[in-house]
């Protein structure tokens, strides 16, 4: 039996690149879709927020001369592109899903509201919640925290390229050690980059735990839902 009834799955835009330098790797997209369908078939209600860093990142754009607001708006549109790609991939593997956007852009996606998102989840469809919060100066980490709290998810699952939270970046520091569990306060005290400070503060204040795990290993999503001890559990 799945450990959680309703989840918010946060996916990295960069992970969608696979081994490419830019854009969307079709095999990675298919792998994600198959993993999501596998848990959707168990009856778990799934909300998804996906980043846009494989296409455009507002903050990095601002360092290259883009106006920050315009850059963040471009980043929001990048998340919509990724959401549409994931939606198409889910449909291709027989999983019902729907894109909701924080900015009105029908017919590309339905305009997001909590009530509509919950309705979609209770109908057994995957709800892909795109365009961040709809506001500049907020990351998709913050967007996923906000959406997870709004839809009353039991947990946020943060799928990354690494298998949990470490004392340092394990891709750069081979002496880095992994935490099995850690509190939000410890994350802040140690300056660990689990998510941005706004996102983790929101999760702490609203008691939304986070499990950080490696989504790029096929089957890991199901293992997390089964309660297997992979990844890092971040809690209040």
Note the pLDDT of residue 59.
67
What is the C-alpha radius of gyration for the chain, rounded to an integer number of angstroms?
A: 17
Residue 219 domain flag: no
Helices marked H in 41-196? 58-63, 68-92, 114-122, 140-150, 184-190
Parallel, antiparallel, or unpaired for β 165-166 and 178-179?
A: antiparallel
CA distance 63 to 17: 22
CA distance 5 to 84: 25
Count other Cβ atoms within 10 Å, centred on residue 178. 15
Note the pLDDT of residue 62.
63
Q: What is the pTM of this model?
A: 0.94
Residue 72 domain flag: yes
CB of 144 closer than 8 Å to CB of 49: yes
Residue 179 domain flag: no
Residue 148 domain flag: yes
Note the pLDDT of residue 159.
95
Note the pLDDT of residue 230.
92
Helix, strand and coil percent figures for the chain, each rounded to 5: 40, 20, 40
Note the pLDDT of residue 61.
62
Residue 165 domain flag: no
Q: Would the CA dihedral through 195, 197, 198, 202 be positive or negative?
A: positive
> What is the block-wise mean pLDDT of the chain (236 residues), using blocks of 10 residues?
92 92 94 97 97 83 78 94 98 98 97 98 98 95 97 97 91 91 95 92 97 95 94 96
CB of 146 closer than 8 Å to CB of 202: yes
CB of 121 closer than 8 Å to CB of 127: yes
Residue 224 domain flag: no
Note the pLDDT of residue 215.
95
**Domain count of the fold of the chain:** 1
Question: What CATH number is associated with residue 109?
Answer: 3.40.1160.10
Note the pLDDT of residue 172.
87
Residue span of the structural domain in which 105 resides: 6-155+186-209
Residue 42 domain flag: yes
31, two tokens: 């792998």
Residue 95 domain flag: yes
């Amino acid at each position: 039996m799945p450990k959680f009834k309703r989840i918010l799955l946060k996916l990295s835009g960069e992970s969608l690149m696979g081994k490419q330098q830019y854009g969307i790797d079709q095999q990675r997209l298919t792998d994600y879709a198959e993993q999501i369908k596998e848990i959707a078939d168990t009856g778990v209600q799934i909300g998804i927020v996906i980043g846009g860093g494989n296409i455009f990142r507002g903050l990095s754009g601002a360092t290259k001369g883009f106006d920050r607001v315009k850059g963040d708006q471009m980043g929001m549109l990048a998340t919509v592109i990724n959401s549409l790609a994931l939606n198409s991939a889910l449909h291709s593997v027989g999983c019902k899903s729907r894109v909701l956007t924080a900015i009105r852009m029908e017919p590309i996606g339905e305009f997001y509201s909590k009530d509509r998102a919950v309705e979609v989840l209770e109908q057994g469809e995957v709800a892909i919640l795109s365009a961040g919060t709809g506001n500049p100066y907020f990351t998709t980490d913050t967007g996923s925290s906000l959406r997870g709290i709004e839809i009353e998810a039991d947990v946020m699952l943060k799928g990354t390229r690494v298998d949990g939270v470490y004392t340092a970046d394990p891709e750069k520091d081979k002496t880095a050690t992994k935490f099995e569990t850690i509190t939000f306060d410890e994350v802040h005290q140690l300056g660990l980059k689990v998510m941005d400070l706004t996102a983790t503060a929101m999760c702490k204040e609203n008691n939304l735990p986070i499990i950080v795990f490696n989504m790029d290993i096929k089957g890991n999503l199901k293992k997390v839902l089964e309660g297997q001890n992979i990844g890092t559990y971040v809690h209040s």
